[in-house]
Amino acid sequence: MCGRYTLHCSAATIADRFGVPVPSRLPQRFNIAPSQRVLAIRQQTNGNRELVPLSWGLVPFWANDPAIGNRPINARAETAATKPSFRRAFASQRCLIVADGFYEWQTDGRHKQPWYIQLASGQPFGFAGLWERWDKAGSPIESCTVLTCPANPLMQPIHDRMPVILPAKSETEWLDPTAHDAARLSQLLKPFPAAAMTAYRIGTLVNSPTHDTAACIQPLPESNSSDPQQRELW
């Protein structure tokens, strides 16, 4: 799954990577959590991309009340095209949720060890996402969910699933609102290559979303140790 992530690179870096206008005063975020506003990229019918704020936790368009108990922050890539909560969005309301790293917790008995995972290049990337617009009453709500897939070899010792990170070559097809071939789109939702990613252990500061500082991604001293599992992950 994916329940926390970061976006602390510069606005210029994001604009250059994704070809989209970005506000110059973009705050650095080190602990983005569910229900918060996140930055997503959508493609308009004229082909232009736009960067928009969305609420993380999808509200289905058919919900009677936006405060429904289940506002999924993740959707399984294997079933999103057919699930009632996601199938309309999968058909034509796909997005990229902009990030430059994410967190996962490795369970060892009662202990949960947080890890920070990012691309080996350190560059920002896009999670494959779906978005919805709820407008039955009052102000419309635009929300989103992150698609997940089986873990790659880097992630497997940490968790059995991971967010779908789309390679740059797949982003245009994923964003195209006129693309409706569910089988073809589903083929894009693969585990990102493990060799292009890195992971290291961090402290438990990240466990609380109230902590949103660079200290959240500070490596633990043992992250450079000779532990066999650590060597496997790196």
Q: Where are the beta strands (DSSP E) in the chain?
A: 5-7, 29-32, 37-43, 49-56, 74-76, 94-99, 101-108, 111-119, 125-134, 141-150, 161-163, 165-166, 197-201
Residue 122: which pLDDT band, with cuts at 50, 70 and 90? very high
Distance, CA of 6 to CA of 114 (rounded, Å): 14
Active site residues: 2, 104
CATH topology of domain 5-233: hypothetical protein yedk fold (3.90.1680)
Which pLDDT tens digit goes with each residue over 94-121?
Answer: 999 999 999 999 998 889 999 999 999 9
Residue 230 has pLDDT above 50, yes or no: no
pLDDT of residue 224: 45
Residue 128: closest CA among 105, 94, 79: 94
Share of the chain above pLDDT 90, in %: 82
Residue 68: which pLDDT band, with cuts at 50, 70 and 90? low
Return the SS3 of 10: coil
Q: For residue 160, what are the contacts with CB-CB under 8 A and spacing of at least 6?
A: 150, 151
Count of CB atoms within 10 A of residue 139's CB? 7
Which pLDDT tens digit goes with each residue over 207-222?
Answer: 999 999 999 999 998 7
